[in-house]
Structure 1
Amino acid sequence: MATKLFKLGERIYEHKWKALLGGLIVLIMTAAAALGVGAAFTGDIEIPGTKSELAMEVMNEKFPSDESTGNGSVQLVFKAPAGAVLDDETIKAEVEQVLEYLSSDHDLESIISPYDNYSLNATKEIAYATLNYKLPAAEVGEQSTAIIEEAVQLARQAGLQAEYTGNIGSVIPEIGGLSEIVGIVVAYLILALTFGSLLAAGLPIITAVIGLGIGIMLILLSTHVMEVSAISMTLAVMLGLAVGIDYALFIISRHRQSLLEGKSVKQALAIANATAGSSVVFAGLTVIIALLGLAVVRIPFLTTMGIAAAITVAAAIIVAITIVPALLAIAGERIRPKAKLVAKQEKASKKSLVERWGSTIVKYPLPIAIMTIMLLLFCSIPALNMETGLPDNGMKSEELTERRAYDLLAEGYGAGINGPLVIVAVAEKGNDSSQQITEALERLNELPNIATIHPPYFNEDSSAAIINLLPETGPNDRKTKQLVEEIRLKADDLSAQYGVELMVTGSTAVNIDISSKLTEALPQFAILIVSLAIILLAIVFRSIWIPIKAVLGYLLTLTTTLGFIVFVVQEGHLASWFGIAEPGPILSFLPVLTAGILFGLAMDYEVFLVSRMREEYARTKDARKAVLAGIKNSGGVVVAAGLIMVVVFASFIFVEDGMIKSMGLALAFGIFVDAFIVRMTLVPAIMTMMKRSAWYFPKWLERITPSVDIEGEAIIHEMEKQNSSNHSV
């Protein structure tokens, strides 16, 4: 691979403008195609085959619905002024005037008044109207939302509290906000400090944006081929931008190092593409494999999330080994480190901060390793109490109308109104099916934590019924999850006694089943990627112990990250620092997603750091010098790459969406732990203590293991031979 990338680098140097133009043409063509056909994202997060999904299928079969089921709907919640009630004639007239104003929206199918749906609560202070739209939820336009906002203002002017919640609006996430721009600006400053050149600092940003643009357009096109959840786009942007900058950083750093050694621009470019480019391809493929490995858990929306993110990573790899060299060739000598700066650095007697850190680790490896492991284990403790779920309006900021509507509904009808359960009852064939269902349902009253069981709604032949059950607790409360389990356990007894099959579904039950399924999938996925890491690293580093050490470090990174997320998001500590409005369960797919992404990125840093150690050890057979050389030559780049990753992911912490916020927080903290605590601290300490045994590899295994030269050593040795022969002649 190194040889091919070397030749590719030479050809790109000779045809630099064509290579750059080709990349821009690809970007323009994909953009034209994607914008021409539009996007078809789905907002659904579901797992086929769960008990709640099977119950939903039975319900749809027994109660065929019309095509409007997936259309937009909104609940407009009213609360009377203090000391008043909603059935007062004056207040009733105000409410009806608000609803009359809403009728001006031609996209509305129907408006069901609080006085028609009998939704006044016991004190008659709170009620809600239901707005049903003609269009699918995602197609209801901003004009409809504006009309609702105006109607709400009319109600508030009349002294009523009015809030609304619903499913209308585009599911496509907003990209390119202020937080992302700030992240890019900070990344540029880090690159400028790393390179000491504003021009060199700008190149990774430019190429990352090109790669990300191509990746995003390909994802938009893929939505017409497979179902892609809207949240997939955000993950793809996060990852594509971060790795795009980092991969360009690695290649440009190696290019400048070769220029510093006196090589020509063409030689330096080809060497950078062969060496750092090989590492980028290997590391990027590792990330892609980890993302595609999400398919193993057999959860469709998680699989498509992995595919979408893998597309942007693949685009980042291709851009890194094609467009980055083209821009380096165009920049030419302007990228070469300035002679004065080089002379100053050579004259300086003090070591860099990274080198001093490496010397400290090598001098005191045992205490540093012990303290690091104890710190990581301590931070992992909260993960033992992790609870997962899907965020609801109750976890949003009180500044949002959705949250205030959630609170009003809970105040008026109890917390369970926001998390109703739907019971589907199907009786065996017989003359008394309705009676059987009624008697079976009465037995549910024996269970705890039930606020209300509404009367059953039967189908035409009375062989099946739908029952709405309101728990006493909210949708993400542990007691609600226990109630779902207890209903399912009791359903087995009722089936035998009454001949009635009871199934639980509804959005709350679906979310509970999704969380349970994803929690079960985490160990399975972890075993897969741990096995993959051991095999890949054993091939690369020709060592038994380095892969095991790398995997143990990765597992510490993962548990520490999950512990931190539980500490902040679930338990609420430091929540205000990160703009978390309300503590709540961890996003159900976050642990599996974090495990996959951190694995790929952790292996990136492991490869870039340890490969330089291996190169030095192969030359000197001195394990201590190898550790110091690895930190000296690659440590600064790993630090810069880690900082950029942290900044890019952290920029997503300050968006409004709770799912995006928790993903950004988990990935930013995880990269910080892995890059700075595990790779730059624990790994050198452990390798120093292991000495030469770190590089042990049985001869029989050496013979059957394929050789992979990710650092392009063969290319460098060949060039050195050619230079020696030229000098001798």
Structure 2
Amino acid sequence: MSVLLYRLGRFAYARPWYVIAGWLAAVSAVVGLLAAHPVKLSNEVRIDGTPAQNVIDDLAKSLPDASGGQGMLVFRAPSGARVDGGDGRTALVAAVDAVYRHDHVIDPRTALAAELAKKERSPLLQAQAAVSGGAGRPGGGAPAPLQDNGRPVPGVVVSADGSTALMQFQFDEQTYELPSGTIDSTVQAAERQAERGRLDVLPSASMMEMPEIVGVGEIVGVVVAAIALLVTLGSVVAAGLPLVIALVGVTVGVGGAFTLSTVFEIHSLTAVLALMLGLAVGIDYALFIVNRQRRLILDDGLDAHEAAGRAIGTAGSAVLFAGSTVVIALTGLLVVGITLLSTMALVAAATIAVVVLLALTLLPALLGLVKERVCSAKARRTARQRTAAAHPRATRWGSRLVRHKRSALAAATLIPLVLALPAVSMKLGLPSGASYNPDTAQRQSYEAVDDAFGPGYNGPLMVVARAATGEGPLTPAALASTAADLRDTKGVASVSLAGLNTSGTTAVLSLVPDDGPNDDGTKALVGSVRDTGRQLSQKYGVAIGVTGFTALAIDVSDRLADVLPLYVATVLGLSLVVLLLVFRSVVVPVMATAGFLLSIAATFGITTAVFQWGWMQGLFGLEATAPVVSLLPIIVTGVLYGLAMDYQMFLVTSMREARMHGAGPLDATVSGFARASAVVVAAATIMVSVFAGFVFNAQPMIKQAGFALAAGIVIDAFVIRMTFVPATMALAGERAWWIPAWLDRLLPDLDVEGDKLAQRIPLPATAASQQPAAARKADVNG
């Protein structure tokens, strides 16, 4: 492998414009396709096979109007005024009218007027009469419908104190399928009319356009990464190359996925995940190779052409297999069988594959343009003054770890275990208005509804009722009895009719819980209503199903929690095989996996403490407590495992190479650590900078993903890889490299360290003579 990559690197260096032209063609093709077919992203969290999703799919056929995206607006009167009095009521009625008249909003008043015009009492009116009269619990605190000319305005209720009105309505399509700007223009139409009564208009979290994928925080993260590159490589020219590789990688990888968004659904988090990984991994992989080339030039006296070829042959081999572990970890998500996660995995894995290919082809081509300028004159002067002890700080730290290996190992084990404790109480859910910061309309809308109507109005359940036989219309008496039984269920605040199809065979009831959408009581209520449904089928011949965003969030969380152990086992099994092939050792793969389990547990613990408990949120600009996003554990597990194995690969291959060149087990651990640690620290800093930039994204799901990945890298790189691993290697000694003889014969020799390259194409004599033997030890990572 190393010889093949060496030749590839020399070819690309010698003929840079051939390679560059090929990649420019790929970029041009992606840009051209994006210009011809605008990007279409989704915010829908769809988990096929869950009870709530099945009900939604059935409803799309029997009552399409009820299966579109849901909108919710809160109208709030000035202090001491009422929304349903004087100018406020006039403005409120006008705002509601403006919303119902807006494009893509379903106007229920049209259907109601048609029913009222009929001489015979229609099924819709009969059902309304049957279900009403007990829609809420008795007492003076229940909200009341807004009245206009003596008739209730559909979809609008006013709080008992008159300070707030809540409008719930349906779009004719899911929100992510609406034309760009539809949601914003709907809100603006309401605001223009509400101004006349000095009413505040607060859209809910469901009334949010596509999240901003790249903002100021993300840009700052890339800038910090650029500074880290400059400090590590000491040259503006050298530092710019990894940035170019990362930017081209995300352009081709993420842009290529965008070109397919008209063919299959691309979730916004899919794009963000691929962007985060493409930037971070692209910079890191190019950094390893450029740093290796510079060390060959400065330490071994090679010219830039030969150094580039050998850097691709050695560090490039490590990059290839490190990238393979990331791809394996991501594609392992396919075993979960969830389309949303599968799409995320494939797009992110494809982006990583593109980045690896760029690092092995475009990077040496760019080095061919830069030539000897990759090392500044100052760096060359400094190199001439260097001795064999070129990494004094890293050598001292490594020596300390070896001397105090037991205490270092104990500390590196206990710290993640303590940080993991909050994960015991981790709750999963999907983002709601409570997940946003207080200065956002989504959070203010959530709190206004909570204060004026009760927490359950922020997460109503949709109960779909049909004849149990599947044929014939529902009778008003059966529907009324069904609503009454649901109303008597523990934890239910109110039940009302939300819709009925023209044939009267399918009715939709809006059930408001006592508790909020992410409370344990609401989860228990969903289970109770489903249990009640089995009884209703026998009592009244009515079959019911529970859906809506709240029920879907509960089902999604349960489904993902169930499949997480299977996913973890699959990824660990596959990656253990890859690590066994690379390191030809039993201890190293097991140690790497144990360290990862510690780091992922600590990551879940820290994320739970910050987002769910609210600890130290001020340090991260956060002011919202919410459950951990359901998708997060399984996504972070896959991504973090792949990235953790990157650092394992670059650090331990350096130790193994020193051991293969004659160093004792302890000396190999120290010297390998000393040579690899600086670039691993720089790579981890870059990763953390890129991921942390996404913490400031307004979308809670993206915010949590950025934080969890940044925290995970800090724990894994600095506690596990830089402390746990060398301490374990020192404790194992020679046993760290043990492998059964029969297994050693069966395994192919992948030659990640470049031994075959050194044997077949030795270093030039003039170069080899420039350094003492101790300083000429081969080095994959620099």
TM-score under structure 1 normalisation?
0.93
Higher mean displacement: 442-451 or 252-261? 442-451
Aligned pairs for 1:28-427 within 5 A: 28-61=28-61, 63-65=62-64, 69-70=67-68, 74-98=71-95, 110=107, 114-115=146-147, 116-117=153-154, 119-129=157-167, 137-138=175-176, 139-142=178-181, 145=184, 148-149=187-188, 151-152=190-191, 155-156=194-195, 158-165=197-204, 167=206, 170-171=209-210, 173-260=211-298, 261-336=300-375, 338-346=379-387, 351-427=391-467
Aligned pairs for 1:1-16 within 5 A: 1-16=1-16
Higher mean displacement: 485-494 or 106-115? 106-115
Aligned pairs for 1:485-564 within 5 A: 485-496=527-538, 498-564=540-606
Cα distance change, pair 69–54 in 1 and its aligned pair in 2 (3 A): closer
Equivalent AA in structure 2 for residue 35 of structure 1 = A
CA deviation string 1:360-384 (max 9, x = no partner): 1011100111112111111111111
CA deviation string 1:380-428 (max 9, x = no partner): 1111111000001122122222222222222232111111112223333
Aligned to 2:780: none
Higher mean displacement: 108-117 or 644-653? 108-117
| Superposed displacement of residue 273, structure 1 | 0.8
| Superposed displacement of residue 94, structure 1 | 3.2
CA contact (8 A) 2:237 2:374 kept: yes
Q: 2 CA distance for matches of 1:386 and 1:30?
A: 41
Higher mean displacement: 232-241 or 208-217? 208-217
CA contact (8 A) 1:199 1:335 kept: yes
CA contact (8 A) 1:426 1:437 kept: no
Cα distance change, pair 457–264 in 1 and its aligned pair in 2 (3 A): closer
Q: 2:732 aligns with which of 679, 690, 702?
A: 690
Equivalent AA in structure 1 for residue 414 of structure 2 = M
| Superposed displacement of residue 330, structure 1 | 1.3
CA contact (8 A) 1:484 1:509 kept: yes
Q: Secondary structure at the match of 1:709?
A: coil
CA deviation string 1:223-271 (max 9, x = no partner): 2332221211111110000000000001101111111201122211111
Aligned to 1:480: 522
| Superposed displacement of residue 471, structure 1 | 0.4
Equivalent AA in structure 1 for residue 399 of structure 2 = S
| Superposed displacement of residue 515, structure 1 | 0.8
Structure 2: 5+ residue stretches without partners: 110-144, 148-152, 770-782
Aligned pairs for 1:707-726 within 5 A: 707-720=749-762
Q: Secondary structure at the match of 2:462?
A: strand
CA contact (8 A) 2:472 2:505 kept: no
Q: 2 CA distance for matches of 1:254 and 1:312?
A: 24
| Superposed displacement of residue 135, structure 1 | 7.3
Cα distance change, pair 60–187 in 1 and its aligned pair in 2 (3 A): closer
Q: 2 CA distance for matches of 1:193 and 1:721?
A: 29
Cα distance change, pair 456–237 in 1 and its aligned pair in 2 (3 A): closer
Cα distance change, pair 41–431 in 1 and its aligned pair in 2 (3 A): closer
Higher mean displacement: 615-624 or 520-529? 615-624
Percent identity for Structure 1 against Structure 2: 33
Aligned to 1:648: 690
CA contact (8 A) 2:13 2:366 kept: no
| Superposed displacement of residue 602, structure 1 | 0.8
Aligned to 2:26: 26
Cα distance change, pair 235–6 in 1 and its aligned pair in 2 (3 A): same
| Superposed displacement of residue 101, structure 1 | 6.8
CA contact (8 A) 2:270 2:347 kept: yes
CA contact (8 A) 1:569 1:584 kept: yes
Q: 2 CA distance for matches of 1:635 and 1:227?
A: 41
Q: 1 CA distance for matches of 2:393 and 2:10?
A: 35
| Superposed displacement of residue 17, structure 1 | 2.4
| Superposed displacement of residue 472, structure 1 | 0.5
Cα distance change, pair 432–158 in 1 and its aligned pair in 2 (3 A): closer
Q: 1 CA distance for matches of 2:427 and 2:360?
A: 42
Aligned to 1:616: 658
| Superposed displacement of residue 532, structure 1 | 1.5
Q: 2 CA distance for matches of 1:415 and 1:564?
A: 28
CA contact (8 A) 1:111 1:130 kept: no
Higher mean displacement: 625-634 or 337-346? 337-346
Cα distance change, pair 214–524 in 1 and its aligned pair in 2 (3 A): same
Q: 2 CA distance for matches of 1:456 and 1:186?
A: 52
Equivalent AA in structure 2 for residue 214 of structure 1 = V
CA contact (8 A) 1:687 1:694 kept: yes
Q: 2 CA distance for matches of 1:564 and 1:631?
A: 28
Q: 2 CA distance for matches of 1:464 and 1:651?
A: 47
